[in-house]
Amino acid sequence: MRAVFASHNPHKAEQVALLLPSVELVPLDSVAPALVLEEPFDTFRENALNKARLAAQATGLPSIADDSGIEVDALGGRPGVFSARFAGENASDAENNRKLIEELKGVPDAERTCRYRCVAVLVTPDGNELVAEGTCEGRVVNEGRGDLGFGYDPHVIPEGESRTMGEIPLEEKLRFSHRGRAFRALAAMIGSE
């Protein structure tokens, strides 16, 4: 199968290519570089479907997309769908992490539980839609460690680990991460179609 990956994020594209080896992923920037992928909804599912529908319509190709983020229990599930822009539109990873740690000031370690959530979708130009979801539980730590990830990875220790997501090599991380789980489930759905 040949499909466009509806994202301008090269980190996600690298991960998804590893998770969907049977799919020839076409970078969005090579077929629709000016396409704006809006995330106007308040759920990961709706945002992922919106991006995939836009890309499928713009390119005429099946489109794969995801929406993902971190949900921190002590913050009532925030930043959630606003993870990439927690500190404002076009915020850097460093700015988002600073805001997260600032908002958790005074929260005991035991109450810093969180989860990464990812919804992965495939939308075909004729309107067929597949949706899969994956989560990865963990906790937020003040001191960022590691540069093997992006986003909040240096500040999140997944359950059963002492390393942060930023200290775990990509191929190992994809075995248990939210994105790994979501895209493996999507791959199984694509294979059974």
Segment-wise mean pLDDT, segments of 10 residues, the chain, 193 residues: 92 89 92 92 97 96 97 98 95 97 96 98 96 98 94 97 97 95 95 70
Q: Determine which one of 29, 42, 66, 67 is catalytic.
A: 67
Question: Which pLDDT value is given to residue 67?
Answer: 96
For this structure, is 73 an active site residue?
no
E strand map for the chain: 2-5, 24-27, 63-72, 113-123, 129-140, 156-158
As given in the structure block, the two tokens for residue 16 are 């998804």
**Amino acid at the residue 136:** C
The CATH classification number of 2-192 equals 3.90.950.10
Cβ count within 10 A of residue 136: 23
Q: Locate the domains of the chain by residue range.
A: 2-192
Which residues are bridge partners to 123 per DSSP?
63, 129
